[in-house]
A and B are shown apart, each in its own frame.
Chain A
Amino acid sequence: MKIFVCIKQVPDTETRIKLSSDHQGIDQNGIKWVINPYDEFAIEEAIRFKEANPSAQVTAVTLGPQARVNNALLTAMAMGADDSLLIDTESELDSLATAKALSAAIKKQGDCHLIFSGKLAIDGNLSAVPLMLAQLLDIPHASVVSQVSYDTQTITASREIEGGTKETFKLTLPALITANKGLNKPRFASLPGIMKAKKKPIVVLKLEELGLESLSPKVKFTNFDLPAEKPPCKMISGDPAAQVNELVRLLQQEAKVI
C-alpha cells in the first residue's frame, strides 16, 4: 500500500518579508525555510496510518530546488516517512504546473492508496495544488479535513466550514485528503529518527525525466508591493470611561464605521 505525503517548504512564519530590488519577487536572503505547518498534520496522519497498517509504505514528495528542499524531506523521514521523492527544479511553477509534475511523479511509482497534503501553503495561500493533483490522478478528495477514519475500501472524512457547519464525506480509495489543524498532533522528530532518516532513500527526478521539460506556469506573480505604511496609532488617553467615549466618537465621526 503506497501512501504519499505532499510537502512544501515555506518561509518560517516569523519571517519579515522583504522585496527583491526589482520588486519582482521577495528577497530570499536570510529566510529560514520550514515545512508548511499544515503539511505536518499530513505527515503525522500518514505515519499513524502506517502504524495501524504495517504493510503501508509512506513516501514524502516535494517539488523545489534540491539544495533547499532536501531538508524538508529529511524532517519528514525523521518523523517516520519511509522514503522520499524529490522533483528537483529551480523553475517558478504555478499550482497547476506543480500538480502536473507531482501527478507524473506519483504515477511513475505505480498504484497509490492514499495521498495526504496540507490544506494550504502559507506562502502563496492558494489552496490549489492538492485538488488539482486529485483531478489529474482521477481520484476523489476531501479538503480541509480535521477528522478521518479508515476502512479497507473507503475512508470517512469530516471538515468544518464557514459558520461551524460540519460536512462528512465517504470516499472510495484511492483518495486524497488535505489536512487542517485539529486532524492530529504532529510529533517531533526524535534523535534516533533523525539518524535513521539520513539512511533513507531520496529519489531525485528532473522535470525532463517526467516528460515535462516544457512545463510552464499559466500565472506568475509580478510587481510585488509591501502593505502601505499605516499612519501612527491614535492613542486615546484618560480614564476608561473617557477613553471609551472618545473611541466611540472617533469610530462614528472619523472612521464612520458605526
Chain B
Amino acid sequence: MKTALIFIETSQGKIKKSSQEALSVFAGNEFNLITCSVGEDSSLPIELKSWGVKKHFVCEGLKTYNPESYQNFLAQVFETTQPQFFLASSNNLSRDVFPRLAAQFNAAYMSDVTEISVSPELVVRRPLYSGKCSAQVTYTDESAKIILIRPNQIEVKCPNKSENLDVVKLNVEVKNSRSQTLTIESGETEVLDLTEAETIVSGGRGLKEAENFKLLHDLAAPLGATVGASRAVVDLGWVGHNLQVGQTGKTVAPTLYVAVGISGAIQHLAGMSGSKNIVAINKDEKAPIFQKATYGIVGDLFEVVPLLTEKLKSL
C-alpha cells in the first residue's frame, strides 16, 4: 500500500479547513495515511481517527515558528515513513519549508495545486501565469511527490472512520541554528487571509481616498469577507501590499468576489478571475471588469455600497 503523509495545521485545537482539504484527497482511497503536526492539541487525535489516519507524528516543544526547526521535524517524519506523497496546504509557512525538503530528499515538488485525484490514476492540475491558463502536472519518475494544495479548491469529505491511531511524539533539537527566530508579532486581524477567504470585497482607485476604505470594511462585516485591493491603491499607500490582488499580488479564488471601483486591468483579472462569483460595481459600463463579472452594477459606488451594506445587515 502506498503511504501518504499530510502536514496538519490547526486553529483553536481543530484541524484547519485547508488541512481537511488535503486529507480529503485520500478519503475513500486505499492509502496508508499518516499525518504530522507541530504543537500539542489534545483533541486532534480523535479528529484524525475519523479521517482514517493510522499514525500521527507530533512535534512538541517548538513554541515559535522557525523554518529550520520545522524542516528538521518534517525531515525526520519523511525519513521514518518514506511516503509516496507528502501533502500540505499552500501558504507562507509551507512555501517556507517544503521546497527545501524537496531538495533534501530529491523529491518532485509542486505548489498551488487546484485539482488532484490519486485514484485510479494520479491527475494533478494547477494554474500558471496567475490563472491566465492552467496545465496538468506530469511526473517523469517515481520520486516522492510533495504537493501543496491551494485553499478552497477541494471539497471537504470526511470518511467518518474510526481507525486505531498511533501517536508518536518527536522532539526536535535546535542546536546552533543558523536561522534564529527573533520575534513573531501577530497581526491584529482575526479575519481569514485573502488566499483562504471564501468572500472578498476589493476596492480600487474609484474609492477616491484612503479613508473611504471604511465603506468596504462596513460591507465586508455582514458578509464575513476579507478586504482586498487593486495595485493602484496599494501604490498610493492607502492599504498594505498584503492586500493586493493580482499577478504581482495574491491569486485568489473565493466563492464571492466583489470588485468596487476597480477597472479590471489584465494584471488584476489574472489574480481573481478564478473566483466562482464576481460582482462588479463601477460607474463606467465599459470597464473591463464587467467582462469577467457574473453580476454587474453600473453606478456610483458611494451610493450603491452603503445601500448594499444596509440591505445585507437587514438579512
Binding site for B on A (CB under 8 A): 11, 13-17, 19, 26, 37-38, 94-96, 99, 122-136, 139-144, 146, 156, 159-172, 175, 180-182, 216-227, 230-231, 233-236, 240-241, 243-245, 247-248, 250-251, 255, 257-258
Contact = CB atoms under 8 A, between A and B. Distances in A.
Contacts of A170: 179-180, 182
A155 to B, nearest CB: 11
Given A156-B182, A230-B292, A221 B135 contact: yes
A44 B201 CA distance: 33
A55 B71 CA distance: 34
A12 to B, nearest CB: 10
B294 interface: yes
A247 B308 contact: yes
B182 A141 contact: no
B60 interface: no
A248 B315 contact: yes
Interface stretch (B37-45, B48-56, B189-197): B189-197
A244 B300 CA distance: 12
Contacts of A243: 297, 299, 304
Given A131-B100, A235-B298, A244-B304, A126 B140 contact: no
A168 B103 contact: no
B274 A218 contact: no
Contacts of B187: 160, 163-166
A139 B312 contact: no
B308 A162 contact: no
A220 to B, nearest CB: 5
Interface in B256-301: 256, 266-267, 270, 273-274, 276-277, 279-280, 285, 290-300
B196 to A, nearest CB: 7
Contact of B135 (A224, A233, A245): A224
B132 interface: yes
A257 B241 contact: no
B32 to A, nearest CB: 23
Given A17-B132, A227-B133, A127 B266 contact: no
B186 interface: yes
B241 A225 contact: no
B129 A123 contact: yes
Interface of B: 65-68, 91-93, 95-96, 99-100, 102-104, 106-112, 127-141, 143, 178-189, 191, 193, 195-196, 199, 223, 240-242, 244, 247-248, 251, 255-256, 266-267, 270, 273-274, 276-277, 279-280, 285, 290-300, 303-304, 307-308, 311-312, 315
B241 A180 contact: yes
Given A165-B185, A170-B179, 17 more contacts: A13-B270, A15-B129, A128-B102, A135-B100, A139-B178, A140-B67, A160-B240, A167-B183, A168-B183, A181-B241, A217-B140, A218-B141, A227-B274, A244-B311, A248-B311, A251-B295, A255-B277
Contacts of A129: 99
Top 8 nearest A-B pairs by Cβ distance?
A164-B187, A162-B193, A131-B99, A135-B103, A221-B135, A218-B108, A161-B92, A132-B103
Contacts of B134: 224-225, 227
B195 A162 contact: yes
Contacts of B141: 218
A171 B292 contact: no
Contact of A131 (B93, B96, B181, B303): B96
15 contacts: A15-B129, A125-B111, A140-B178, A141-B67, A163-B191, A165-B186, A165-B187, A166-B185, A171-B179, A219-B138, A221-B137, A231-B294, A236-B297, A255-B294, A257-B277
Given A161-B92, A243-B304, A219 B108 contact: yes
Given A122-B130, A125-B112, A235-B296, A171 B178 contact: yes
